[in-house]
Chains A and B, each alone.
Chain A
């Protein structure tokens, strides 16, 4: 039946080696590829869709409705996925008062709950709180994020939380080979979770360690899931894509403060519109001296640290 089958002295390899060697390996590769394509994403429509920024509003709405249905079914609650765009005349800025932060990590966990991050294996936390020595000042290479104590602040230590700085010249956006991440008009750097190929170039490129990867299927308990989501923000992410702080895009585009700002028990976090001189963040910049992390890299973050006292 196969004209290419040889019946010679080759021993056990006759049938399978009837095909040209280069072609055989290509076929093997394609077979694996096809298995992956069908196995990993039994979603042919997803396989052929366009990138988010190329979609028409009607397409986005259709996708969003599909996701709402899918997530509602999966988590057993009425999940909404907002497509709210940036508000005109708004550029978000964030302020962090280093003289106030006590390292209690309530922001870390408020963020995890608000933004539906994977709880374990992998555990994803968008905010990392660095503990450093007061005697040495800011010295990131000798900081510790794993501090554990009965009480904070520990004597002689101060605390600096780090999350996505929403840079004006983001190295992650520059490096992404497929354009799955970009900076929106209101300053938030967002990710299209359905376009990201998981190559992690952006994670290598980020100077602040702000981007995190779903190394496995995220574990998100249904009862803890926050059903108010945004398409570019806290909707549940799939395995194998990158995620990061989005300034709680699902809240801030509705005019609310991010979850970390609201939970901070010592009022160390300030948030607002950089274009509004009355906003708390502008007041901080005008009256306190703000500084940014790794300014020599010219990333121009929208995240400013200051000392109020």
Chain B
């Protein structure tokens, strides 16, 4: 209330002054405003995980490492230190709607970088600075950052080779 009153008083004072130029569009005061990307790339309909992962549907919690039935497609492509890790080293056993750090602290899917950053500290540091990863938008204003998982499949993070676009035409072939 107070701030509104102050603002109105000030604007009144300004309006009463002699020729004041109309306000001009200004860039946001924060030089680089990081804006979160669109939601993490979860498969349609898969979230919230707890719609299946609850005692009523799945029965008693079983945390032993084993071959899965439903997420077998993910397990088949799993290639992320598979010698030492499996699903529940990142996914929280008790609440599948979140991930967890080694301390047990929960991490939401929108902040999954914190989890990645535990092991990949230097990448995390570079990503925070914008040196690793990708940002789009305004170099001097609002930027949209991409999560790790927007580029790296967390279950098989290494980039696969892709087909390159065509090479340039050779100069000897460039004729009218």
> Do A and B bind?
yes
| A interface with B by C-beta (< 8 Å) | 87, 90, 95, 97, 102-106, 108-109, 120-123, 125, 128, 145-153, 215-216, 252, 255-257, 261-262, 264-267, 270-273, 276, 278-280, 283-284, 287-288, 308
Quick check: is B52 within 8 A (CB to CB) of the other chain?
no
User: A149 to chain B: closest CB distance in Å?
Assistant: 7
Partner of A145, one of B132, B140, B161, B168: B168
Q: Are B135 and A287 in contact (CB under 8 A)?
A: no
Known pairs A123-B174, A271-B139, A280-B135; A147 contacts B164 (CB<8 A): yes
Q: Are B133 and A267 in contact (CB under 8 A)?
A: yes
| B interface with A by C-beta (< 8 Å) | 27, 31-32, 126, 129-141, 146, 151, 159, 161-170, 174-176
Across the A-B interface, give the 3 residue pairs with the lowest CB-CB distance, nearest first: A151-B161, A280-B130, A267-B134
Q: Are A216 and B176 in contact (CB under 8 A)?
A: yes
User: B171 to chain A: closest CB distance in Å?
Assistant: 9
Q: Are B161 and A252 in contact (CB under 8 A)?
A: no
Partner of B165, one of A104, A270, A278: A104
Known pairs A149-B164, A151-B163, A283-B130; A255 contacts B151 (CB<8 A): no
If over half of B's interface residues share one DSSP class (helix, strand or loop), that class is named, otherwise mixed; here it is loop
Q: Are A102 and B170 in contact (CB under 8 A)?
A: no
Q: Which residues of B contact A287 (CB under 8 A)?
A: 126, 129, 131
Kindly list 15 other residue pairs between chains A and B, CB separation below 8 angstroms, not including A255-B27, A255-B141, A264-B134. A102-B159, A104-B164, A123-B168, A125-B168, A147-B164, A152-B162, A256-B138, A266-B159, A267-B132, A267-B151, A272-B139, A273-B140, A276-B31, A279-B32, A280-B130
User: A152 to chain B: closest CB distance in Å?
Assistant: 5
User: A32 to chain B: closest CB distance in Å?
Assistant: 22
Q: Which residues of B contact A103 (CB under 8 A)?
A: 164
* Complex: A153 Cα to B141 Cα, angstroms: 34
* Complex: A57 Cα to B122 Cα, angstroms: 50
Q: Are B162 and A102 in contact (CB under 8 A)?
A: yes
* Complex: A268 Cα to B165 Cα, angstroms: 17
Q: Are B140 and A270 in contact (CB under 8 A)?
A: no
Q: Are A109 and B170 in contact (CB under 8 A)?
A: no
Known pairs A146-B170, A270-B130, A308-B126; A121 contacts B176 (CB<8 A): yes
Q: Are B169 and A120 in contact (CB under 8 A)?
A: yes
* Complex: A31 Cα to B162 Cα, angstroms: 57
Q: Which residues of A contact B176 (CB under 8 A)?
A: 121, 216
Known pairs A252-B139, A257-B139, A308-B126; A105 contacts B165 (CB<8 A): yes
* Complex: A67 Cα to B128 Cα, angstroms: 43
Q: Which residues of B contact A280 (CB under 8 A)?
A: 129-131, 135, 139
Q: Are A102 and B138 in contact (CB under 8 A)?
A: no
Known pairs A123-B169, A287-B126, A287-B131; A257 contacts B140 (CB<8 A): no
Nearest to B142 among chain A residues (CB) is A255
Q: Are A256 and B137 in contact (CB under 8 A)?
A: yes
Nearest to A109 among chain B residues (CB) is B165
23 A-B pairs in the complex with CB atoms less than 8 angstroms apart:
A95-B131, A103-B164, A104-B164, A105-B167, A108-B165, A121-B176, A123-B169, A145-B167, A146-B167, A152-B162, A255-B27, A255-B138, A255-B141, A257-B137, A257-B138, A272-B139, A278-B31, A280-B129, A280-B131, A283-B129, A283-B131, A287-B131, A308-B126
Partner of A262, one of B131, B132, B136: B136
Q: Are B175 and A121 in contact (CB under 8 A)?
A: yes
User: A264 to chain B: closest CB distance in Å?
Assistant: 7
User: A253 to chain B: closest CB distance in Å?
Assistant: 10
Known pairs A270-B130, A283-B130; A148 contacts B141 (CB<8 A): no
